């Protein structure tokens, strides 16, 4: 689903945030809060929930007030983190469900500052951390293929450029074609004089990676083995791109 063409305004994103947050709350109730999160090294379940719920509240503040949030948004303690994550998600979802997608807001990324940005970003953030929580507590989880494809678009639009700037590394000089095999989604990535370039199209690269959208996204986020992907062409070129960290 393209963020610019979401039906019924931002309601689909609000629905996703509620649903995935409910699943996080269910993982919290199963617990324990000290469960390690292998996909987020150094975090236990309590840290993952505190992070996700804090980001929900941070985004809600940015949408409502139209400026960079200030103050503390974290939980006061570990008491009933399930209720706390539900409450923050509900507040965010309520705001998104009634907001003008083109309304002005604040966010820290170099793209148009409209509310639709927060809708997609928070839906993606919540889905990924729901996967983290369920994988840790229940031993398995999945991502919706269409949402994962949208997550790839967001990563190539915003995440990867931010990673390259943050880590002070040039884009690989090779080109990579990324192809989802279960839902629409194709991109060509390449470096040009050290600068990152991307276009969402079917085009031949030095290498290609293919797989279900969820598997591709998880692999690029460091959450799935890259051996699960079908790699075509120059393996060294593919490995250059696959070695870059998720955001």
Mean pLDDT by 10 residues, the chain (247 residues): 51 97 98 97 98 98 95 89 98 96 94 96 98 98 98 96 92 97 98 94 96 98 95 96 88
Check residue 4 and give its pLDDT. 41
Adjacent-strand bridge partners of 233: 207
For residues 86 and 221, give the distance between their C-alpha atoms in angstroms, rounded to a whole number: 25
Domains of the chain (ranges, CATH numbers)? 3-141 (1.20.120.450), 146-242 (3.30.1050.10)
State the Cα–Cα distance between residues 219 and 213, nearest whole angstrom.
Answer: 10
Token pair of 114 as six digits: 């409209």
Q: Looking at residue 83, what is its pLDDT? A: 97
pLDDT of 246: 82
Model-level pTM?
A: 0.93
Task: Please state the separation of Cα 81 from the chain's center in Å.
Answer: 22
pLDDT for residue 72: 85
Q: From 233, 236, 245, 185, select the one nearest 212 (Cα to Cα).
A: 185
The 3-state DSSP composition of the chain as helix, strand, coil percent (nearest 5) reads: 50, 15, 35
């Amino acid at each position: 689903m393209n963020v610019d063409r979401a039906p019924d305004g931002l309601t689909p994103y609000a629905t996703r945030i509620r649903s995935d947050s409910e699943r996080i709350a269910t993982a919290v109730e199963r617990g324990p809060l000290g469960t390690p999160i292998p996909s987020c090294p150094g975090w236990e379940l309590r840290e993952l929930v505190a992070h996700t719920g804090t980001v929900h509240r941070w985004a809600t503040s940015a949408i409502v007030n139209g400026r960079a949030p200030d103050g503390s948004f974290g939980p006061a303690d570990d008491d009933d983190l399930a209720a706390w994550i539900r409450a923050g998600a509900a507040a965010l979802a309520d705001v998104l469900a009634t907001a003008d997608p083109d309304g002005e807001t604040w966010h820290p990324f170099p793209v148009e500052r409209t509310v639709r940005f927060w809708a997609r970003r928070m839906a993606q953030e919540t889905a990924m951390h729901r996967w983290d929580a369920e994988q840790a507590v229940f031993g398995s989880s999945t991502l919706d293929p269409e949402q994962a494809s949208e997550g790839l678009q967001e990563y190539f639009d915003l995440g990867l450029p931010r990673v390259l700037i943050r880590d002070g590394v040039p884009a690989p000089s090779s080109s990579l074609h990324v192809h989802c095999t279960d839902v629409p989604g194709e991109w060509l990535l390449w470096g040009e004089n050290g600068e990152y370039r991307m276009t969402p199209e079917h085009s031949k690269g030095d290498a290609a990676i293919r797989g279900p959208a969820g598997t591709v996204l998880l692999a690029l986020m460091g959450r799935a083995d890259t051996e699960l992907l079908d790699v075509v062409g120059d393996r060294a070129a593919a490995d250059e791109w696959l070695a870059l960290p998720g955001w």
